Amino acid sequence: MPVDPSAVKTWANLVTVARLLIAPFMFVLIPDEPGGAWPAFALWFLLCCTDGIDGYLARRHGASTNVGAFLDPLADKVLILGAMIFLVSSGVFSVVPVVIIAARELAISLYRTFVGAKGVSVPASRIAKIKTLTQQLSVGFALAPLTALDAKWLWNSLLWVSVALALISGGQYMWRARRPRVTANAM
């Protein structure tokens, strides 16, 4: 049975809210110095898996809700940027890629809020979904003790790939936002 788009209490939304509430516990588990930590990695892995679970639940029940469409990207941003900021503060991640990613996320979030107020939905593009995955992998490999020190090249490369994807997908959103105005003015 399809879910009413205005519904608040859904299984998918419950999973998303749980991700938001558990995130601070994961941040506390991030060690103060490079080297990773199994508890932080385990909770990170669980939280990343639940990102797919809430989407599955929403599709299984017919559609996402308006609340879910707002909360799911918010949960992704809180988890990823929060973990990245903690990794910067512990000297694992460089501040430059994290600032670029945070600026892109802020710009796109403001854009979505602005056009959302006009009734326009801005779903995540395929490149944006790949960007989120590369960010999750970068943080995960930086937290896993097996790769935190011995495979720095791996998570650092993924971090910079996610910067490139963030800029590309942000450019796509801006291009698509500009296109309707160009078409409307041409008429």
Q: What is the pTM of this model?
A: 0.86
Distances (CA, A) of 175 to 20, 42, 108, 152, 169: 31, 38, 12, 34, 10
11-186 CATH, one of 3.40.50.300, 1.20.120.1760, 2.130.10.10, 1.10.3210.10: 1.20.120.1760
* Confidence bin at 175 (pLDDT 50/70/90): confident
DSSP symbols for 121-157: --PPPHHHHHHHHHHHHHHHHHHSHHHHTTTHHHHHH
pLDDT more than 90, % of the chain:
55
For the chain, the domains span 11-186
Nearest to 158 by CA among 92, 106, 107, 103: 92
pLDDT (tens digit, 9 = 90+) per residue, 7-24? 667 877 888 899 999 999
Q: State the pLDDT at residue 65.
A: 67
Q: State the pLDDT at residue 5.
A: 58
Contact criterion met (CB below 8 Å) for 34 and 90: yes
Q: State the pLDDT at residue 187.
A: 43
Residue 44 to residue 106: CA distance in whole angstroms: 22
Report which residue type is found at 38.
W
